[in-house]
Amino acid sequence: MAEWFSSIGTGTRVSVTPKAARGVGCVEAPRGTLIHDYETDEDGLITNVNLIVGTTHNNAPINMSVKQAAKALIKDGNYDQGILNKVGMAIRAYEPCLSCATHKLDGSIAVKLEMRDARGKVINTITNW
């Protein structure tokens, strides 16, 4: 047994008595700050959970980056799969897993992309790319 392990001792597992309580934890994760907030009843059963994940913190900059990429790459409403992939890179810069995690069971992407002209009128909508 490694020397460091034997120095831990036997108190690493402590029995817990269930009770009504609230616990909040925060950790820096690869995709951003992760906040967990749990509430339990008198039997120790979870009654409420609030998770704030990196995607929540990154939502505004993701949207701004996608908008900037789309404006720079899509000209006169013309686009192809390569341009859509480049726009998608703006998402993956913040959330490398989000593109794959948002696929539907049939393999299509569960995202609706609207292309608008300079006046804000929708000129095209893509729901399955």
80 lies in the same domain as 48: no
64 lies in the same domain as 48: no
- Taking 3-state DSSP, the helix, strand and coil percentages for the chain, each rounded to the nearest 5, stand at 30, 30, 40
Secondary element (H or E) of residue 87: helix 81-92
- Tell me whether residue 29 is in a domain: yes
Cα gap 64→42, rounded to integer Å: 45
pLDDT, the chain, mean: 82
Cβ contacts of residue 39 below 8 Å, gap of 6+?
20, 21, 22, 46, 47, 48, 49
What pLDDT sits at residue 100?
62
What pLDDT sits at residue 16?
81
What pLDDT sits at residue 117?
81
Cβ contacts of residue 110 below 8 Å, gap of 6+?
102, 103, 104
91 lies in the same domain as 42: no
Among residues 9, 31, 52, the one where a domain terminates is 52
What pLDDT sits at residue 68?
94
Q: Could you tell me which residue, 86 or 13, shows the higher pLDDT?
A: 86
95 lies in the same domain as 41: no
63 lies in the same domain as 118: yes
pLDDT > 70? residue 3 = no
Domain that holds residue 31: 18-52
82 lies in the same domain as 107: yes
121 lies in the same domain as 74: yes
Cα gap 52→54, rounded to integer Å: 7
Q: What is the pLDDT of residues 24-79, one digit of tens each?
A: 999 988 778 889 999 999 999 999 999 988 888 888 998 999 999 988 998 888 88
- Tell me whether residue 76 is in a domain: yes
Backbone φ and ψ for 78, nearest 5 degrees, come out as -95, 130
pLDDT band at 115 (very low <50, low <70, confident <90, very high): confident
How many percent of the chain have pLDDT more than 70? 79
- Tell me whether residue 9 is in a domain: no
